[in-house]
Amino acid sequence: MSRVRTRAPLWLLLPAAVVLGGLFLYPMYQLGLLSVLDFTQAQVSGGQPTRFVGAENYTRLLTDSRFWDVLLATVLFAAACVLATLAVGAGLAVLLTRVSRIPRLMLSLAAMAAWAVPAVSGSTTWMFLFDTDLGFVNQLFGIEGFNWLYDRYTAFGLVGAVVVWASFPFVMVTLYAGIEAVPKSVLEAAALDGAGTWRTFWQILVPILRPVLAIVVIQSIIWDFKVFTQIWVMTRGGGLAGQNLTLNVYAYQQAFASSEYGRGAAIGVVMMLILLAVTVVYLRALRRSGEQL
């Protein structure tokens, strides 16, 4: 009888284990395996035998100075995008709780529309708006002939704006739901004690919303670190002389467009490790501050 009892959880876990194993473990295992092989199109179609190369894909990657440049640019760009997304999303979430029904509906609809637009169409539309000669923005400011994508920082700024525009609605909606769930009594008590708006936000809302914020922050970091479409479309595959490459675009260009799948897998593994590290550090920091997620 006791044997059956100890085995029962295993059987019950099996369906979940099969699904998780099939969807996550197996692809991750394949990724890791490919990253230690010399695996190009010639190997896929059987023209040449597959060869084990050990850490060669990794050493080539880590000794490539361009990789480090691109990694640095990606980290800074993602960090800026995450901060901007959170600021815009949180600001508008608070605004949503303050305005009356009609404006709230309008703002929500506008945000939902931005969220729903496919990344390729969104990026293309923004490119029309900021076109060098014919763009609405350049005509509005009377700066026809100004190429936004010529300078590295204006190009990153423009792409960053599109990334924020497409990802703030998620933050806004999630935080709005969180704020609405905060007990009114707590807010009333704070108001009675003489807390202003600013103080209520930082000392009441933020601590209560910490678990929601954690999810929003981690999601944003992962999304913005992996940005591909906006860079690919707007800077035509990495900008002038590759000045706007981010890690995902670099991986695509170096590995998949060149059919060097082994090398691409190595970049994928490195990206996964970086994101895993960021997430773990962030979660630990949260735990240390006394919050259990």
Partner 1 sequence: MRLRLAAAAALALTITACAPSTSAPSTAASDGGPRTGALKVWLFDEPNRGPKEAVIKEAVTEFTAAHPDTTVDVQYIAVDTRSERFKGAFNDPASAPDVVEYGNTDLPEYATAGGLADLGAVVSGWPEGADLTAEARASATYQGTLLGVPWYLGVRALYYRTDVFSELGLKPPATLAELTTTARAIRAARPELFGVAVGGKYTYGAMPFVWAHGGDLTSIDSAQSRAGLKAYTDLIAEDNCPPQNCADLTGGKTVELFASGKAAMGILGNFNRAAVDAGTAKGKYAVVPLPGVTAGSIAPAFAGGNNLGIMRNAQRPALAADFLTLLAGRKYQAKMYDAMGNLPTLKPASDEVAAKDTFVKPFIDTIGAGTRFVPLDPGWGKIDASAVLPTMIEKVATGKAGVDEATTEAAELIDEALTR
The footprint of partner 1 (CB under 8 A) covers 6-7, 9-10, 13, 17, 21, 25-26, 29-30, 33-34, 37, 39, 41-48, 50, 132, 145-147, 149-150, 236-243, 253-254, 257-260
Of 66 and 199, which CB lies nearer to partner 1 in the complex structure? 66
Of 103 and 157, which CB lies nearer to partner 1 in the complex structure? 157
Cα separation, 28 vs 237, whole angstroms: 27
**Minimal distance, residue 150 CB to partner 1, in Å:** 5
**Minimal distance, residue 292 CB to partner 1, in Å:** 23
Of 228 and 282, which CB lies nearer to partner 1 in the complex structure? 228
Residue 110, Cα to own-chain centre: how many angstroms? Answer: 21
Of 265 and 286, which CB lies nearer to partner 1 in the complex structure? 265
**Minimal distance, residue 229 CB to partner 1, in Å:** 16
Of 8 and 99, which CB lies nearer to partner 1 in the complex structure? 8
| DSSP label at residue 15 | H
Cα separation, 116 vs 122, whole angstroms: 9
Using CA atoms, how far residue 24 sits from 18, 27, 151, in Å, is 10, 6, 40
| DSSP label at residue 195 | -
Total Cβ atoms within 10 A of residue 138: 19
Q: Residue 78 burial (CB < 10 Å; 0-12/13-18/19+)?
A: buried
Cα separation, 242 vs 95, whole angstroms: 39
**Minimal distance, residue 44 CB to partner 1, in Å:** 6
- Name the β-bridge partners of 52: 37
**Minimal distance, residue 194 CB to partner 1, in Å:** 54
**Minimal distance, residue 70 CB to partner 1, in Å:** 12
3-state secondary structure at position 37: strand
Closest to 277 in 3D by CA, of 205, 207, 225, 206: 225
Of 50 and 219, which CB lies nearer to partner 1 in the complex structure? 50
